[in-house]
Amino acid sequence: MCCGGGVVVATDKILRPFVQKFVDFWNWLSIKFGLAAGCFIYCLKEGFEATGGFSELVYAGEEIFFSHSLKSWGRKRGLDFRIILNSSVITSIRKIEWFTIYQMTIRILFILVFPFAISFRIFCSPWYYRPKK
């Protein structure tokens, strides 16, 4: 039995090969480290409530924190956290179309170097703002 998990991600459109590598890398990280993508997470109600659910203290990456907390909660109860491999969730690439790969890479690298940045909406703008047409 499991406490929760996620699935691998597929996109709704074909990506340029370089961009597809990013999606493939995320799927590898997801499988290797048991991280559920924000576009699809499942869990036991008891696990969600016991862990406090998604953090409202961050503006991005809350699914990473939740995955970690839920895995820890489940492990103490003998429950697995599973990433489903034989099916995928189809996610939109609209943000990849709105922002250049350069812009997204710079933001992600900034957040990796300065993790506290996810506590500020301005540094997580691709998740909150749409570009003006």
- Per-residue pLDDT reduced to its tens digit, 87-107: 899 988 887 788 777 777 888
Is residue 133 predicted with pLDDT exceeding 70? Answer: no
Q: Are 121 and 128 in contact (CB under 8 A)?
A: yes
* Position 73 pLDDT exceeds 90: yes
pLDDT-derived band of residue 19, with 50, 70 and 90 as boundaries? confident
Encode pLDDT of 30-71 as tens digits. Answer: 999 999 987 899 999 999 999 999 999 999 889 999 999 999
Q: How confident is the model at residue 108 (pLDDT cuts 50, 70, 90)?
A: confident
Count of CB atoms situated within 10 Å of the CB of 95: 14
Contacts of 117 (CB under 8 A, 6+ apart): 110, 111, 123, 124
Q: What is the pLDDT of residue 51?
A: 97
pLDDT of residue 106: 85
